[in-house]
C-alpha cells in the first residue's frame, strides 16, 4: 500500500507539471517513453529542438539511466528542464555533446529549483555557438533511488528580452556656443548609477539605447550624447538632431551591460545658454535566464 501511495503521489505531481508547464500547450507533442534507452547508442531520438515537445519518462526499477538525443540549430542557447519530486531525490542529469564531452550537470536535491512550489525542476544549459546544427545528449541517472521513476523532460529558450526607463537626477547646463564653433559646445554631465538596480536582470546586455529630455529654451541643432561609463570612455552621439530625444548606434554586439553607470550630456550649436532637465534613459536588453536562477524578469 505504501508503494502504491508513493507511485500515486508521483503521478499526481506529473499531472500538475503537465498542467502548468508553459511549453506544453494544447497542440504540444507529449510522448511517454517506458525505459529501454539506457545508453548513448540506444538514446531516445527527440528529433529537432522544439519548445512544444516534451517527454514523460517511466524508468523501470531495473534501469539506472535514461538517454535522449536531440539536434540544435546553430546560434541557439536553450535549456532542458527535468521535473523533480521528493521520491526522486539523488537523481542527477547531464548534458553532453556528440563527442561525449560533459557540458553541464545538475544533482538533486542541491540543484533543484523552485523546490517550494508544485513544479520543482532541474535545468541543463545547452549552447550551440558553432556554424552548423549539432547533436546533443541528455542523461538522467537514478542515483540511489529505488523503484520505478517518473519524470518529464521539456526544452525551453534561455534568452529573454526586456526594457526599462530610468531618470537622471539634476539639470544639465550648456553655456552656449559663443565662439560659434562648428563642433558646438557640450553641456555639463549627468550621471545615473544602475549598477545595483534590481529591476534589471543580472547579466543583461543592452540591445538599444534612447534618451529624452526637456531643453529650455528649446533650440535647433541639438544632439543628445550618452556614455556607458563603467565599460567605455567613448561618448555616443545621437543619430539625429533633436532637443527632446536621442537614439544611438549601441546594440548587442557592443556587449554593454545594462547594470552600470550611464552618463548624459548634450551638444548645442546655438550661441544662447540653455538647460536640459527631466532627462530619461530607455534601455532595451537581452538576458540569459541561466544567470537569474531560470526566472524571467
Residue 84: DSSP 8-state: -
Fold of 2-157: Jelly Rolls (2.60.120)
Cα 55 from Cα 76, distance rounded (Å):
21
Q: What percent of the chain has pLDDT over 90?
A: 89
Per-residue pLDDT band at 11 (split at 50, 70, 90): very low
CA 279 to chain centre: 28
Cα 121 from Cα 80, distance rounded (Å):
10
For residue 188, is the peptide bond before it cis, meaning its omega torsion is within 30 degrees of 0?
no
Q: What nine digits make up the cell of 279? A: 532627462
Give the β-pairing of 102-107 and 121-128.
unpaired
Mean per-residue pLDDT, 63-72 = 98
Cα 261 from Cα 193, distance rounded (Å):
4
Per-residue pLDDT band at 30 (split at 50, 70, 90): confident
Q: What is the model's pLDDT at position 266?
A: 98
pLDDT at 240 over 80: yes
Contact of 232 with 199, CB cutoff 8 Å: no
Q: What is the model's pLDDT at position 147?
A: 96
Task: State the DSSP H helix or E strand holding residue 26, giving kind and residue range, or none if neither.
Answer: none
Q: What is the model's pLDDT at position 13?
A: 44
**Nearest of 175, 119, 152 to residue 295 by alpha carbon:** 119
The model carries a pTM of 0.82
Mean per-residue pLDDT, 227-253 = 98
Q: Is 169 exposed, middle or buried (0-12, 13-18, 19+ CB in 10 A)?
A: exposed
3-state secondary structure of 203: coil
pLDDT tens digit string along 112-161?
999 999 999 999 999 999 999 999 999 999 999 999 999 999 999 999 99
Give the Cα-Cα-Cα angle 47, 42, 69 (nearest 5 degrees).
30
Task: State the DSSP H helix or E strand holding residue 294, giving kind and residue range, or none if neither.
Answer: none
pLDDT at 6 over 60: no
Q: What is the model's pLDDT at position 243?
A: 98
Per-residue pLDDT band at 3 (split at 50, 70, 90): very low
Mean per-residue pLDDT, 74-88 = 96
pLDDT at 21 over 80: no
Cα 151 from Cα 14, distance rounded (Å):
7
Domain residue ranges of the chain, discontinuous segments joined by +: 2-157, 161-291
Write the CATH number of the domain with boundaries 161-291.
2.60.120
First to last CA, the chain: 44
For residue 264, is the peptide bond before it cis, meaning its omega torsion is within 30 degrees of 0?
no
Mean per-residue pLDDT, 151-176 = 97
Q: What is the model's pLDDT at position 235?
A: 98
Q: What is the model's pLDDT at position 20?
A: 35
pLDDT tens digit string along 206-239?
999 999 999 999 999 999 999 999 999 999 999 9
Cα 47 from Cα 137, distance rounded (Å):
11
CA 3 to chain centre: 40
Q: What is the model's pLDDT at position 242?
A: 98
Cα separations (Å) of 252 from 47, 211, 225? 31, 18, 19
Contact of 246 with 173, CB cutoff 8 Å: no
Cα 150 from Cα 85, distance rounded (Å):
9
Cα 258 from Cα 256, distance rounded (Å):
6
* 2-157 and 161-291 agree in CATH topology: yes
Q: What percent of the chain has pLDDT over 70?
A: 91
Amino acid at each position: 500500500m505504501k508503494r502504491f501511495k508513493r507511485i500515486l503521489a508521483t503521478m499526481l505531481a506529473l499531472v500538475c507539471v503537465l498542467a502548468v508547464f508553459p511549453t506544453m500547450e494544447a497542440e504540444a507533442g507529449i510522448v511517454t517513453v517506458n525505459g529501454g534507452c539506457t545508453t548513448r547508442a540506444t538514446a531516445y531520438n527527440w528529433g529537432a529542438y522544439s519548445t512544444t515537445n516534451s517527454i514523460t519518462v517511466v524508468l523501470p526499477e531495473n534501469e539506472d539511466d535514461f538517454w535522449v538525443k536531440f539536434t540544435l540549430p546553430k546560434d541557439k542557447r536553450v535549456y532542458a528542464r527535468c521535473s523533480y519530486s521528493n521520491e526522486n531525490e539523488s537523481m542527477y542529469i547531464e548534458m553532453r555533446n556528440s563527442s561525449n564531452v560533459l557540458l553541464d550537470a545538475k544533482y538533486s536535491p542541491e540543484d533543484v529549483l523552485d523546490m517550494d512550489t508544485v513544479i520543482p525542476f532541474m535545468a541543463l544549459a545547452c549552447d550551440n555557438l558553432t556554424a552548423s546544427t549539432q547533436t546533443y545528449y541528455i542523461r538522467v541517472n537514478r542515483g540511489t533511488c529505488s523503484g520505478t521513476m517518473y519524470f518529464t523532460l521539456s526544452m525551453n529558450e534561455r534568452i529573454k528580452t526586456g526594457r526599462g526607463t530610468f531618470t537622471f537626477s539634476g539639470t544639465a547646463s550648456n553655456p552656449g556656443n559663443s565662439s560659434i564653433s562648428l563642433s558646438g559646445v557640450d553641456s555639463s554631465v549627468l550621471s545615473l548609477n544602475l549598477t545595483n538596480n534590481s529591476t534589471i536582470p543580472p547579466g543583461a546586455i543592452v540591445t538599444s539605447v534612447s534618451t529624452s529630455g526637456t531643453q529650455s529654451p528649446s533650440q535647433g541643432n541639438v544632439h543628445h550624447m550618452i556614455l556607458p561609463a563603467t565599460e567605455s570612455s567613448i561618448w555616443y552621439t545621437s543619430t539625429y538632431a533633436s532637443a527632446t530625444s536621442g537614439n544611438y548606434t549601441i546594440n548587442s554586439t557592443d556587449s554593454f551591460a545594462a547594470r552600470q553607470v550611464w552618463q548624459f550630456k548634450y551638444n548645442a550649436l546655438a550661441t544662447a545658454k540653455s538647460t536640459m532637465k527631466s532627462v530619461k534613459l530607455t534601455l532595451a536588453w537581452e538576458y540569459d535566464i541561466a544567470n537569474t536562477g531560470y526566472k524571467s524578469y
